Structure 1
Amino acid sequence: MPSSQLPDPLIARRAVLGAGLALASLRSWAAQDTDAEALLRKGGVVAAFRHSLAPGTFDPPGFRLGDCSTQRNLSEEGRTQARSIGVWFQQRQLQPGKILSSPWCRCVDSATLAFGAPQVWAALGSPRGSPETTSAGHLRELRAALVGASAQTGRFEVWFTHMFVLADLANTNTSSGEALILRADRGGKAEVLARLSVAA
């Protein structure tokens, strides 16, 4: 039955339910941001971002590192999203101790628009070929760096990388421009403490 034909009490109930879900969603995002902010302020964590929005999947034929014209790049929406990330940190006076990025242009651009020029690190690079999995050597580097960052109270790092890298490192999915707040557990594996998704 279309909404227009529903009895008045059902329409009202649906409206209340919709408003309740929207409010719950807003509270969830607010709590998420608050948790992330508190963790970053305390330090000993890494905010590991998936690069901002770059429409499409994979890189085009003829891809070359160091040549952005051969790569999948940020859209204008993605560039706005990256700037919004920087604004979120600036408004809270949160300054990363280190900013690291995959060599891919969409990651370097995300980092630069948010924070300024990053230090490029090959271990954060996108897996190439098939299957799309991060190499064991790169995973060892990432975990070792996370252990080091986790030991530094009052200081946090920001990394910009790719969906596949974050999935291999933290065993979870991420959206474009979303960060996982990571810390190394006692075994040296990545533990997801919170998520941060900054609206553009």
Structure 2
Amino acid sequence: MSVRTSGRVLWVATRMVLAFTLILGIGYTLAITAIGQIAFPDRANGSLIRNADGQVVASSLIGQSFSDADGAPLARYFQPRPSAAEYDAQKSGGSNAGPENPTLIRDIKERRNQIARFNGVAPASIPADALTASASGLEPDISPRYAALQEARVARARHLSLATVKKLVAQHTTQPYVGFIGEPVVNVVTLNEALDRQKG
């Protein structure tokens, strides 16, 4: 291949790289960003939750602890699933403990007893998601069964009627996709934010 031919091939290849960089690297990225901002602005920006002053206080996609400085759960709030990552996105992950792991078995027993005492319910009534951490450690959702177990305690602590609390739980319950994919879930983060806006 002559130098002239080689130069022509190199020039064609360079133009192709530049063209695809502009089309796929920049154009495609801008187009997808624009679609996200127009069609799903809340999700595209991280599903942020703002307080009455407009300050960002959380994301509905990331769970958080509702406890005091000593780590004790606050009765005014619905409690989330346990987290092996302490709800820290930088340490996201599960415990990786198998079902026969003695530490996991001990933790589940302790959690069952603590949740039963905290909510004034029978240990046998506590669902599995209240006892086991999620794979990410950042799960913002709990089962409706776990939410229902906490309703009376939250209503008492906030001096709200049980009917008011149940209504809020229903409003923050997401049903399965297209009616049958997945399970109903309650977003604890958005639910607790809604509770803070209530009087009581």
TM-based fold match above 0.5: no
State the structure with bigger RCO (CA 8 A, min sep 6), 1 or 2.
1
For the pair shown, the structure with the greater C-alpha radius of gyration is 2
Higher strand share: 1
TM-score in terms of structure 2 length? 0.31
